Structure 1
Amino acid sequence: MNRRRRLLIGAAVAAPLAALVAAKPRARSGAHDDYFLGLQSALAEAGLLRPTLVIDRARLDHNLGRLKANLPANFAYRIVAKSLPSLPLIEHVRRATGTDRLMVFHQPFLNLIAERMADARLLLGKPMPVGAAQRFFAHHRNLDFDAAAQIEWLVDTPTRITEYAELARARTGEGMGPLRVNFEIDVGLHRGGFGDAQALAEALRAVLAEPALQFSGLMGYEAHASKIPGFLGGPRGALARAMQRYADALAAVRETLGADFDAGALTLNAGGSTTYAMYDGSEPCNELAMGSGLVMPTDFDVPTLADHQAACFIATPVLKALERTDIPGIESLAGLMRAWDPNTARAFFLYGGYWLAEPVSPPGLQRNPIWGHSTNQDLYNGSTEVELGVGDHVFFRPHQSEFVFLQFGDLAVYDAGRIVETWPVFTQGA
């Protein structure tokens, strides 16, 4: 065999071996840093040795400061209630921002806020089935909250307008004023709503012809803008296109209303957590909605929120810390799996689990892909160097806030090294 052939064979053997070595997982390890040690101590002192959703009030206040600094001066702020689903949490945000505007997405939440926040001005964040609106009125009891004046129902089709007109006529007979309807417009997300000026103008004329309805404004959601890659124009290009569509819709409103047009009297809503900081005040809207960016679940780790801080964590105790990971039926492979991936060496069974969340402390934990998830005792693996024992907490960051926050009961508010209070969350039904 000549030298050239030996080199070729050697290279053919070495290449996959090198790839295998490169692919082999390295051991990860670590312990809680001072922040999470302090949070763990506070939870233990408060007796919260169960799955708990923690709000860091100092970090929440930092994010509120960034909101106020980034929001254009000529825009109002609207709280997205589904992303902050707790009355005390919303009240905290209201005090910090001075707003009475909320966006609501769920009929039971609408009833609760109308009952408990009589001064709030509410915009529906999605078109509700007319039956849900009927149920709201059937259960509405707070006479200090004027539902006709303080709620804007979102409509997206001529059919929806017809349904709400029928409801409004029935309610008018009970002495209630006209229902206010806000038009959902498609500014590029393509999730429904009025997509062209002619259709919007025709719908607006239908509302103007119905004494039981009152046109209140436009809502154009542009969450897609922050996700548009550079080769398609990037976030700023996408936002510019969305705002051009918004301006076209507003022009149709202006033309249809004629001398009655008054932009300042309309709710012209836009924005979202991932986009609000991109506005400079020149856009055709007059208010921005934002919620999740105040607590920062992982889905909102985007460049436009780089100056915000993670302010919510799931904390849960370790119930069992085993020195070996055995998978039922393949116990004999435990040593081989550990040799390949040292991060599978130890097994930690948690109190609860299977949340929309990622572990953040201690570092080095990973889910076992063979075992799968459990909502009762979730399994996470770690190397022999991970510093974690029975009774210690594992901390997760939720992917989102709007649903995950509702899974743990009262929120635990962490401030200055202690759990200082608890905030009840919304209930899905009632």
Structure 2
Amino acid sequence: MQESDLIGIPEDSISTPALIVDADILEANIEKMQSYLSEKGVSLRAHAKTHKSPYIGQIQMKTGAIGLCCATLAEAEAMVQGGLNNILITSQVAEADKLQRLASIAADADISIAADCRENIAELSEAALSRGSTIGIVIEVDVGMGRCGVRSAGEAVALADETVARDGLRFRGLMGYEGHAVFIGDRTDRRRTGLAANHLLMESVNAVRARGIPVEIVSAAGTGTYDIAAGMEGITEIQAGSYIFMDLAYEKLGLPFEISLTVLSTVISRPDQKTVVLDCGMKSISVEREMPRARGYDGMEVFKLAEEHALARVDPSGKSPLRGEKVSLIPSHCCTTVNLHDRIFLVRNRHVEAVLPVSARGVH
């Protein structure tokens, strides 16, 4: 069936497994985040690693986001090809071919990238000069993840000096992602950990400014800490992504966003009264944090995922789906679930409104 033939069909007619996004909830989540941050005077740089779709990125930009984050160079390439601009790549690039690709797209779009060492600054400068482009530099500060990023304000200042001295580069600012805080269940603990991370970022920001170097961008946070970082004086933008879809992990935090993304599956076997077998396994839904949850069946528990099958237990005396019926599953992690699919079915009022290619899935 051609994609054009899918427009308007009922949701329960979609071949499974399929990635479904409720358009009304998606738009409400986007508007809610944008409105909150606008009231706080903080910008949204929405993270495209969640949706990997230029179409959704365009909705975010039209709603008020100043730009997008991308986790990989190839995600950024897909967004630029989809007509998007003002992109921050939040991971470092070290390979020679990727440096050249980065410099190439920087000739056509406003591109910045995270950096955390002098060697990388030199490589980025050389690549930009070879392509006649300008690459924006955002120094990453390790604020507690123990991953990438400079470890001190002194290192941040030295790297800012190095950037300013290099041709082909434009120093933009600093970023620090408090990913170790975003899933802390207790709100007080999450706030304390998030603010401590934000303070570490601001120490480096203030040190760079004290050096006499202007800082335009101070970028931080994720969906779990967006409101905490937005209240920190000096942070200019929030990198939230998962708020548009939500999932079982974020649902536990009591955030003001609803789940818009599910994986539609079909019951392919009822071998006994207590067992339901679905056509949705690890190749179509993430299982990294916990098992998915079936929507609309309170007594149904998914207890195992194989490659192409989900096994669930049901109470024989309660409501359960019959063979051939459709079941919507809520994933534990929306971002890694999206990366398993080639397309998103955007559904409104239980009918397909659009079929969106997941343009940046599986690319790096």
Into which bin does the TM-score normalised by the smaller protein fall?
0.7 to 0.9
What residue is the counterpart of 1:3 in the other structure? none
Question: Aligned partners of 2:170 and 2:35: how far apart in 1?
Answer: 34
1:161-310 paired onto structure 2 within 5 Å? 161-171=121-131, 176-227=132-183, 234-256=189-211, 258=212, 261-263=213-215, 266-303=216-253, 305=255, 307-310=256-259
Asked if the contact 1:108/1:428 (under 8 Å) is kept, the reply is no
Cα distance in 2 for partners of 1:139, 1:146 equals: 5
Runs of 5+ in structure 1 lacking a partner?
1-40, 324-344
Residue matched to 2:298:
363
Change over 3 Å in CA distance of 1:319–1:222 after alignment to 2: same
**Are the aligned partners of 1:216 and 1:267 in contact in 2 as well (CA < 8 Å)?**
yes
- Aligned equivalent of 2:54: 87
Amino acid at match of 1:262: P
CA distance in 2, matches of 1:251, 1:151: 24
Moved over 3 A (4+): 137-140, 226-231, 279-282
TM-score (norm 1): 0.74
Q: 1:303 to 1:348 in 2, by over 3 A?
A: closer
Is 1:67 aligned to 2:16, yes or no? no
Aligned pairs, number? 346
CA contact (8 A) 1:275 1:304 kept: no
2:49 aligned counterpart, secondary structure: helix
Among residues 25, 43, 46, which one is paired with 2:11 in the alignment? Answer: 43
- Give the number of the structure with larger relative contact order, counting CA–CA contacts within 8 Å between residues 6 or more apart: 1
The 1-side partners of 2:313 and 2:47 are apart by 37
| Aligned equivalent of 2:280, options 352, 356, 364 | 352
Aligned to 1:403, the other structure's residue is in SS state helix
Distance 1:113 1:363, change over 3 A: same
1:223 aligns to what SS in structure 2?
coil
Q: Which residue of 2 aligns with 1:146?
A: 107
Structure 1 distance, partners of 2:31, 2:80, is: 27
- Write the distance in 1 (CA, Å) between the matches of 2:210 and 2:352: 55
Larger radius of gyration: 1
Q: Deviations over 1:94-146 (max 9, x none)?
A: 22x2224010112222212122215x101011112243533525875xxxx73
| 8 Å CA contact retained: 2:100, 2:127 | no
Matching of residues 115-154 of structure 1 within 5 Å: 115-118=81-84, 120-131=85-96, 133-134=98-99, 136-137=101-102, 140=105, 146-147=107-108, 150-154=110-114
Residue matched to 1:29? none
The structure-2 alpha-carbon separation of the partners of 1:156 and 1:85, relative to structure 1 and needing over 3 Å to count, comes to same
* Deviations, residues 223-252 of structure 1 (Å, cap 9, x unaligned): 323445769x72222233222212210111
- In the TM superposition, residue 218 of structure 1 has moved relative to its aligned partner by 0.5
Preserved contact between residue 128 and residue 135 of structure 2 (Cα < 8 Å): yes
The residue type paired with residue 121 of structure 1 is: N
Which residue does the alignment assign to 2:305? 373
Letter in 2 for 1:293: Y
CA–CA separation in structure 2 for the residues paired with 1:188 and 1:304: 24
Unmatched segments (≥5 aa) in structure 2: 1-8
Q: Offset of 1:289 from its aligned partner?
A: 1.3
Q: Secondary structure at the match of 1:274?
A: helix
What are the Cα deviations for residues 299-342 of structure 1, in whole angstroms up to 9, with x where unaligned?
Answer: 2124351x21111111101111222xxxxxxxxxxxxxxxxxxx
The answer as to whether partners of 1:277 and 1:304 remain within 8 angstroms in 2 is: no
Q: Deviations over 1:317-370 (max 9, x none)?
A: 1111222xxxxxxxxxxxxxxxxxxxxx532222231222512232322345xx
1:287 deviates by 0.9
More helix by share: 1
Letter in 1 for 2:294: V
Contact 1:278 1:304 in 2 (8 A): no
